[in-house]
Structure 1
Amino acid sequence: MSTFLDKLAVRRNRIEDQRQQLQAAEDFVWVWADVVDPSSHEYGAELGCAETNRLAHLFRVFHFWNTANQLQDEHQRGPNCNAAELHPPVTGECA
C-alpha cells in the first residue's frame, strides 16, 4: 500500500510542477506580449533562429498570433537570422 501512496505522491508532485511551469509560461507570454512588445532588439535581446522559433511557438500556443508573427518577421529581416534553422510558416489567426 505504501508503494502505491509513494507513486501517487510522485505523480501529484509532477502534476504540480507542470501546473507551475504552465503558469510561468503563461505569465511570461502576457508580460512580453503586453508590456515589452515583440521588438526584442530595442531591449537588447539578440535571438537566434532556434530561440525565435521557440518563443514564437510559445506565443502561438497561447494564441498571441500577432506577437508571434511580428517576432518572427522582425527576426527574419534582422541581422541575427543566419538561416541556421528554418522558420515555420506563419499560421493561425491574426487578430
Structure 2
Amino acid sequence: MIFDAVLDKVAVWRDRAEVRRQRLQAAEEFVWTWAETVDPDSHEFGAELGCNETNTAANLFRLFHFWNTANQLQKEHQRGPNCNNAEPHPEIVAEDA
C-alpha cells in the first residue's frame, strides 16, 4: 500500500516533468520560428500587442538570446498605437550584460 502511494507520487512528478519539458520545447520552437519575423513597423500589418504581451514576448526572446528581436519588438511597441504605458517596460539593452 505504501509502495503504491510512492509509485503514484513518482508518476505525478514524472508527468509534471514531462509537461514542463513540453512547455519549454514549445517556447524554444516559438522563439526560433518567430525571431526572424519581428521587424520595425510590423504593427502596420496587424500586430497589436499590449504592454504586458510585449514585455512577455520580449522577455522570452531575451531568454533565448535574441536581443535584437526583443529590442525591436519593444521599440516598435513603445512608438506604436498600442502602448498606453499600462505597465513599465524593461530597459532596452544591446546584449546580454
Q: How does 1:41-60 map to 2 (within 5 A)?
A: 41-60=43-62
Taking structure 2 as the reference length, what is the TM-score of the superposition? 0.88
Alignment RMSD (CA, Å): 1.5
Checking the alignment, whether the CA contact within 8 Å between 2:39 and 2:73 is kept in structure 1 is yes
Q: How does 1:1-95 map to 2 (within 5 A)?
A: 1-34=3-36, 36-39=37-40, 40-91=42-93, 93=95
Structure 2: distance between partners of 1:69 and 1:15: 32
Could you give the per-residue CA deviations for residues 8-60 of structure 1, whole angstroms, max 9, x where no partner exists? 000000000000000000000111112x2245424422000010000000001
State the AA in 1 paired with 2:25.
Q
Corresponding residue SS for 2:91:
coil
Checking the alignment, whether the CA contact within 8 Å between 1:56 and 1:68 is kept in structure 2 is yes
> Runs in 1 of length 4+ with deviation above 3 angstroms?
none
Structure 1: distance between partners of 2:44 and 2:67: 20
Taking structure 1 as the reference length, what is the TM-score of the superposition? 0.89
Unaligned runs of 5+ in 1: none
Checking the alignment, whether the CA contact within 8 Å between 2:38 and 2:72 is kept in structure 1 is no
Higher radius of gyration, 1 or 2 = 2
Name the % identity: 66
Say how many residue pairs are matched.
93
